[in-house]
A and B are shown apart, each in its own frame.
Chain A
Amino acid sequence: MTKKMTGAQIFMECLKREGVKHIFGYPGGVVLDIYDELTRQPDIHHILVRHEQAAAHAADGYARASGKVGVALVTSGPGATNTVTGIASAYMDSIPIVVFTGQVPTALIGNDAFQEVDIVGITRPCTKHNYLVKDINRLAYTIHEAFHIARSGRPGPVLVDLPKDVIQASTVPKFPEEIKIKSYNPTYHANPRQVKRALEMILSAKKPVLYTGGGIILSNAAEELTEFARALQIPVTSTLMGLGGFPGDDPRWMGMLGMHGTYCANMAVANADVLIAVGARFDDRVTGKLSEFAPHAKIVHIDIDPSSISKNVVVDVPIVGDCRDALTQLNELLKDKPHRDMTTVWGQWLDTVEDWEKKHPLTYTWSDTTIKPQYVVEKLWELTKGEAYITTEVGQNQMWAAQFYKFKYPRRLMTSGGLGAMGYGFPAAMGVQMAKPDAIVIDIAGDGSIQMNIQEMITVVENNLPVKVAILNNSFLGMVRQWQQLFYERRYSATPMVAPDFVKLAEAYGAVGLMATRPEEVEPVIKEALNTPRPVIMDFRVEPEECVMPMVPAGKATTEMLLA
């Protein structure tokens, strides 16, 4: 290309070259030229959110469901700061998004100009990398570099700050064919010698456990993981972020581990002699009291980020690399070994694990008169055959979704795992629905967290996105109340909460509102919602003081679970 292009035109050309079809955004003064250019871009669909936080979460949901990079576009100042929660959430969960923020003209930067904020400074600790583009001749390269960094290695959010004069300037752009960064070369290929050592350690184990995380989903390694686990019949547990990486209906599946993990998974990890951590990072919600986490186990840790390895626990066999690469190598090595029936070799261990499973399965007390929130999630699972795309808010709704929706496939659960940002689920569902127009997308929400981004109801109505919201309405900020109930002698400080009439609210937005107050109404409401090709809010009035169980009290060992 030898034609002169404006910054706004270069921006659009770069998005197209990156294969971007959808962007979530909100206009403003300094990005007027980009929005003007948008009118001449039939191939790029812009979804106008109602709050910039939602743009970042929607881009995140889009990225998780599609495996592509999600894109958000906002203006300077408040537009930019409103995205910070969404960026921080994507950072904690390693989700590839690129957020473009407008900036005041370069001549005004540092002058406390109208709607000026140092967003590069603000987001430095919560982005994988970020840029302020000061020269239009760097624009094309920087945008492509941003996408490259977001999606490669351990993925993450990247922010690109675009001053108004750079967007308005013109140049003959050079679009790079390939991005090469001298100082950035993630290791994908796991060291074969380390992989071999790991396999030897695993095969010499008596009580092995696979502990998997979001890395399985991000590296598309679910198939390889399943092949490996089934070949050796190793019991599998996963973090919240890893759910769906191994089929939830497999006999070797133990359920999630950690604070609200299953008795079986936590007991298995506590008694394991070899723990194989794949794409997980030993988060405090998983380990509980660190000194008593997997105390008898030798640890194999596969992760693409070297800084995740030996950060919290000392690892015996560290393997830096892509989870899929490492698991593929392990599977290859296994093929060369004589076949052994591991159910015999590890029979005793597998029996013990099964006993734990039978002793305290995930359960709840049925009620004929009030709706149990777990029952709602179970019914959602049953009526969608476990095939829906589920997003969650944060708190009890999130944990019940994780426990009772038995995810069979990867990329079906989108949840703010690391940051725990309430208000994530609904805009994320919007992003998922954009990526998967024909899929059933359900946001499992609480009456508290749905209100954090409820304004997006109008966005889904406007864009005909048939997102379903299942509110487990207990008139409390349930998870905080649960802690007050258990550890603060039921002093419910600031957790009882009056909610609006969600049915009327849905109708006011032009969506459909349904309500269930009794257990027998749950199924008909879900069926009606699933048969409605429009956005629906389902308001389930559930047992107000139900708790998420099991629960490991904060700072305790994961074997010290409260069970009911």
Chain B
Amino acid sequence: MEPRHTISVWVENIPGVLSRVTGLFSGRGFNIESLCVAETMDPEVSRITLVTSGDEQIIEQIIKQLRKLINTIRVVDLSELDHVEREMALVTIKAEDKSRAEVLRIADIFRCRVVDVSPSTYTLEITGNHEKLEAVLGLLKLHGILDVVRSGALAIQRSKKE
């Protein structure tokens, strides 16, 4: 597996920009593992967080190509910096009789929140980094996942500590 890179892209918040970004990836054969987009505090600017993988030369090309787009304001490879990364998942799990307590225990251990309950299911909200989500989902799978939806990664640079 080639190393994962989390890249932040600030773009002008106008129609068509997202398709320029995704079109660049598909057109040049780059990989997108996940993608999150939303407005920043400045409504004229959107911030895209995308996760991709590739060797050094490919990542360098991806960053240069992103910068080349006319609507791109700034590109930062967060993987090069000290940063915090979070993903979120909403999962509906079968939880009947015996397993009901066990599912809650798992939720508790991983600090998940129960966001919906029915007599035979729980819906959990899980946040964490990529590895944590993989771990929780791996455990919950044993109890029967009925539905799952995952966000892409969000990432932000850590502030200087001094």
Interface residues, chain A, CB within 8 Å of chain B? 120-121, 124-125, 128-129, 132, 149, 181-184, 305-307, 310-311, 314
Contacts and interface: CB of A to CB of B under 8 A. Distances in A.
Greatest chain B CB density within 10 A among A149, A182, A183 is at A183
Nearest to B10: A183
Given A124-B20, A124-B23, A306 B67 contact: yes
Contacts of B61: 307, 311
Nearest to B68: A307
Nearest to B28: A125
Nearest to B19: A124
B111 interface: no
Interface of B: 11-12, 16, 19-20, 23-24, 27, 57, 60-61, 64-65, 67-68, 70-73
A10 to B, nearest CB: 21
A328 to B, nearest CB: 25
Nearest to A183: B73
Given A124-B20, A125-B23, A183-B12, A307 B73 contact: no
Given A124-B23, A307-B68, 10 more contacts: A120-B16, A124-B20, A125-B27, A129-B70, A149-B70, A181-B70, A182-B12, A182-B73, A183-B73, A310-B60
A182 B60 CA distance: 23
Contacts of A183: 11-12, 70-73
25 contacts: A121-B19, A124-B16, A124-B19, A124-B20, A125-B23, A128-B70, A129-B70, A132-B16, A149-B70, A182-B12, A182-B73, A183-B11, A183-B71, A183-B72, A183-B73, A184-B70, A306-B64, A306-B67, A307-B61, A307-B64, A307-B65, A307-B67, A310-B60, A311-B61, A314-B57
A419 to B, nearest CB: 15
A310 B19 CA distance: 26
Contacts of A311: 61
Contacts of A120: 16
B63 to A, nearest CB: 9
Interface core residue of B61, B70, B71 (most chain A CB under 10 Å): B70
Nearest to B20: A124
Contacts of A121: 19
Nearest to A128: B70
B54 to A, nearest CB: 13
A112 B157 CA distance: 45
A90 to B, nearest CB: 16
A120 B24 CA distance: 15
A248 B54 CA distance: 43
A314 B58 CA distance: 12
A143 to B, nearest CB: 15
Contacts of A125: 23-24, 27
Contact of B68 (A124, A132, A181, A305): A305
Nearest to A182: B73
Contacts of B73: 182-183
A100 to B, nearest CB: 18
Contacts of B19: 121, 124
A310 B58 CA distance: 10
Nearest to B62: A307
A305 B64 CA distance: 9
A382 B13 CA distance: 57
A310 B71 CA distance: 23
Nearest to A124: B23
A129 B16 CA distance: 11
A181 B14 CA distance: 14
Nearest to B26: A125
A314 B56 CA distance: 11
A384 to B, nearest CB: 39
Contact of A310 (B16, B57, B67, B72): B57
Nearest to B70: A129
Contacts of A149: 70
Contacts of B16: 120, 124, 132
Nearest to A131: B16
A127 to B, nearest CB: 10
Q: Which 3 A-B pairs have the closest CB atoms?
A: A307-B64, A129-B70, A183-B73
Contacts of B67: 306-307
Contacts of B68: 305-307
Contacts of A182: 12, 73
Contacts of B23: 124-125
Contacts of A132: 16
A121 B20 CA distance: 9
A128 B71 CA distance: 11
Contacts of A305: 68
Contacts of A314: 57
Nearest to B61: A311
Contacts of B64: 306-307
Nearest to B15: A132
A120 B20 CA distance: 11
A480 to B, nearest CB: 26
Contacts of B12: 182-183
A311 B71 CA distance: 22
A492 B12 CA distance: 53
A183 B12 CA distance: 8
Nearest to A153: B68
A306 B11 CA distance: 19
Contacts of A306: 64, 67-68
A305 B61 CA distance: 12
A182 B57 CA distance: 27
Nearest to A313: B57
A490 B23 CA distance: 41
A416 B24 CA distance: 23
Nearest to A154: B68
B16 to A, nearest CB: 7
Contacts of B11: 183
A132 B12 CA distance: 15
A182 B67 CA distance: 12
